[in-house]
Each structure stands twice: as structure tokens, then as C-alpha cells.
Amino acid sequence: METSLWIVVGAAFITAIMTGVGALPFLFVRRLGDRTMGLSNAAAAGLMLAASHSLIAEGVGLDVALTLAGVVAGLGAIVLANRALTGAGEVDVADLTGANAAKALLILGIMTAHSFAEGVGVGVSFAGSEGLGAFITTAIAFHNVPEGLAIALVLIPRGTAVWKAALWAIFTSLPQPIMAAPAYLFVEIFQPFLPVGLGLAAGAMIWMVFAELFPDAQENVSNESAATGVALAFAVMMAFQMLVLHH
């Protein structure tokens, strides 16, 4: 049992590390102009929209009602969090201040919250069988790379160093190894909460896309370019997920 538990935690920790890989493309990009900033926000919106689509699809496969309840709860939670941040005055996070920091805090919070559900997913899958656990872990690990990119697309153009953005991305996925162990050991307790957690994260992500990221993209590029960026990023993320799931 102990060896198996360490394998579960280690596998979930690898998925967390993979989130930081998403920031690495920025090592080769030195300066970002306004147009690149706008397209970055559009791409981040598309990636998050695709991720939320996958979370809802996964949750609905487990329990439709609980997933939809989670979506509504996630929407309510992010609206309340945004209002709290708006009224909190000056915020400072990831080398950012003011509105940029508030935006960063929201996306980091959303990604961290959704990692709890993914961690439970890893633990529950290993409780089913080692083969299923390995498959789910691999899928989440590859899925985390574009999610890390979405985080980097929000942080780096606003002034966060690449290495710090990578560490923040990994930080948002740390709940995966933390939650994988108890979910593996107490699968009967955790399994019913999985669709709620998936829906909650999806609801928060969808709000973030339309309330923050897409409007920001429209400030720097035309509506047509912003919409095209969202659609292309969505398509790439979905194609990426399909390749992972079918191989």
C-alpha cells in the first residue's frame, strides 16, 4: 500500500511540474507589443474555454446535476471573489500591481481551484486500476502544459519574469499531488465530489474568459482578430486533448 501511495503522489507531482512547461516558449520571446498582448489574451481565453469544455464534459459523464450545480457555484464564487478584490484596494502578486495583479490573482485562484478536482481525479483513477491511473495521469500532465501557457500568457506580457511565471504555474497545480493521496485512500468519500469540483472550476473559467480576458484582447486588437485568436486557441487545445486521449 505504501509503495502504491508514493507512486500516486509522484505521478500527480509530475502533472504539476508539467504546468510550468507551458511558460517555456516565452524564453524565446523578448518583447511583447500591444498587438501581441491582445493576441496573448485571446489565446489564453481560447485555451481556458477549451479547458472548461473538457471539465464539463468529464463531469457530465459522472453526474449531470452535480456538474451543473458546480458550474453555478463556480460562477457565484468567482463573482464574489472579483468583487472582494475590487474592494480590497491595491493588490500585489507575481511582480504585478493594481488591476494587472487582481487579474493575475483571479486566474491563479481559478487554476489552483481546478487543480483540486484534477488531483481527486488522479487519486480516484489509481484506486480503480494502475493502468487507468497511468492513463489519466498522462492525459492530465499533457493537458496541464497548455494550461500553464494560459497562465504565462496572462502574467508575462504584464511584466512577470518567465521563471516566476513557470513557478506560479506549478504552484497552481500543487493541489494535484496534495489531493491525489487522500482521494486514493478514501475513494468512496471523494468520488461523489469530483463532478462538483469539475463544474465549479469550469464555471469560474468561463466567467474569466468573457469578463476579463476577451475584453482585454479587444483593447489591443480588432474584434475579428480577438475572436479568431480565441477560436484558433480553442481548436488547438481541443485537438491536443483528443490526441492525448486517443493515444
What pLDDT score was predicted for residue 232? 93
Percent of the chain at pLDDT exceeding 70: 86
Query: What confidence tens digit (pLDDT) does each residue in 106-164 have?
Result: 777 777 777 877 787 777 777 766 666 777 777 777 778 777 888 887 788 777 888 88
- End-to-end, the C-alpha distance of the chain in Å comes to 29
Residue spans of alpha helices (H) in the chain: 2-21, 34-62, 64-86, 98-128, 130-155, 162-172, 175-185, 187-190, 194-208, 214-220, 223-245
What pLDDT score was predicted for residue 3? 43
Band the pLDDT of 2: cuts 50, 70, 90: very low
Is 1 a residue whose pLDDT tops 50? no
Rg (CA), the chain: 17
Percent of the chain at pLDDT exceeding 90: 9
Instruction: State pTM to two decimals.
Output: 0.71
- Residue 177 grid cell: 499531488
Query: What confidence tens digit (pLDDT) does each residue in 33-73 have?
Result: 778 778 878 888 888 888 788 878 888 888 899 999 989 98
Between the alpha carbon of residue 216 and those of residues 46, 131, 134, 152, 221, the distances in Å are 13, 43, 38, 15, 9
